[in-house]
Amino acid sequence: MNLRESMRAMNRLVGRDRNPAPAVAPIDIPEPFGARLVSMFSGEPQVGEDGRAYPLDGVTSATQPTCMWLYQLCLEERPKKTLEVGLAYGFSTVSFLAAIARNNIGHHTAVDPFERSAWHGIGLANVRTLGMEEKFRFVDAKSVPALANFGEAGERFDVIFIDGNHRFDDALVDFTLGSELCPQGGYIALDDMWLPSIRKVVAFIRTNRKDFVSVETPTANIAAFRRVGLDGRSWNHFEDFTTVR
Ligand SMILES: C[S@@+](CC[C@H](N)C(=O)[O-])C[C@H]1O[C@@H](n2cnc3c(N)ncnc32)[C@H](O)[C@@H]1O
């Protein structure tokens, strides 16, 4: 089973088939970004890097409220640099890029080792169609080496969106490495709170990472945090986080 098939199977299993509804709620994002998102959320076939149109799988995307939240957050915070783990078709990337265009400031990095093999490079093609290549960097690598390299290079990101491998340990490592890249006042958001693995990671952060405070979001499917301090835990600190909150 390939990555896409297993995601589809997983969503079916938990009753969360998220086929884009044919009637898409209005998307209050300026053109050409709004039209791109409407087309994608409508489930229209999308052009890949090779110029051919491919059907979307109907399950792999940040939801519409999540895209709107990312866009609004970036309008308010005017981040200089943003980062996401998990590009795929580029729903969230288009939302970040829309804010960069509107703010006239910012640069977005997306990390995904399967962008070309699993998603036909549709996310990359979207960036090109929108004429935003200069404000965008794609890293064709797994999140662990990519985020570690950003840290080595001293890079910082004001908004980090974690939407890559959704296993508990992978998402926790993405958060931990992401926290090294997040300055005070910066944000880290995790997608897909419907998954027990992500809820468990979030329970750990809420219980153990007092340098991050929860931020309210308009959708329960994301958990967002703002960095408010340094990580001052002692070497053996541990608060039990067995309760998923
Ligand atoms: C739910 S999709 C991302 C959806 C995307 N954010 C959007 O809104 O269109 C998850 C993505 O994570 C990628 N992925 C899986 N394992 C990864 C890893 N170890 N590092 C980075 N990305 C990974 C997959 O290839 C897939 O594109």
pLDDT in single tens digits along all 245 residues of the chain: 444 444 444 343 333 334 444 456 667 888 999 999 999 999 999 999 999 999 999 899 999 999 999 999 999 999 999 999 999 999 999 999 999 999 999 999 999 999 999 999 999 999 999 999 999 999 999 999 999 999 999 999 999 999 999 999 999 999 999 999 999 999 999 999 999 999 999 999 999 999 999 999 999 999 999 999 999 999 999 999 875 54
The residue type at 149: N
- Tokens standing for residue 77: 């915070």
Tell how far the Cα of 87 is from the centroid of ligand 1, in angstroms: 5
Between helices 33-41 and 91-103, what is the axis angle to 10°?
A: 170
Atom of ligand 1 nearest to the CA of 90: 9
Whole-angstrom distance, CA of residue 68 vs CA of residue 65 = 5
Q: How crowded is residue 12: how many other Cβ atoms within 10 Å of its Cβ? A: 11
Host H or E run for residue 181 = helix 168-181
Atom of ligand 1 nearest to the CA of 67: 8
* Burial letters 113-143, b for 16+ CB under 10 A, else e: bbbbebbbbbbbbbbeebebeebbebbeebb
Integer CA distances (angstroms), 36 to 14, 31, 114, 115, 135, in order: 29, 8, 22, 18, 17
Whole-angstrom distance, CA of residue 5 vs CA of residue 60 = 11
Tell how far the Cα of 90 is from the centroid of ligand 1, in angstroms: 10
Place of tokens 């977005």: 108
Name the closest-CA residue to atom 11, ligand 1: 86
Tell whether omega for the bond before 45 is within 30 degrees of 0, i.e. cis: no
- Beta strand 222-227 with 212-215 is antiparallel
Name the closest-CA residue to atom 27, ligand 1: 88
Q: Which of 71, 165, 166, 198 to mutate to test the pocket of ligand 1 (most atoms within 8 A of CB)?
A: 165
Pocket of ligand 1 (CB under 6 A): 60-62, 85-92, 111-114, 118-119, 142-143, 163-165
User: Looking at residue 19, what is its pLDDT?
Assistant: 41
Tell how far the Cα of 211 is from the centroid of ligand 1, in angstroms: 26
Atom of ligand 1 nearest to the CA of 92: 8
Q: Which domains does the chain carry?
A: 61-227 (3.40.50.150)
Which residues are within 8 A (CB) of 10 and not within 5 positions of it... i.e. 6 or more apart? none
Q: Which of 64, 71, 114 to mutate to test the pocket of ligand 1 (most atoms within 8 A of CB)?
A: 114
User: Looking at residue 27, what is its pLDDT?
Assistant: 77
* Burial letters 203-240, b for 16+ CB under 10 A, else e: bbbbebbebbeeeebeeebbbbbbbeeeeeeeeeeeee
Q: How crowded is residue 11: how many other Cβ atoms within 10 Å of its Cβ? A: 18
This prediction's pTM = 0.91
Tell how far the Cα of 112 is from the centroid of ligand 1, in angstroms: 6
User: Looking at residue 20, what is its pLDDT?
Assistant: 40
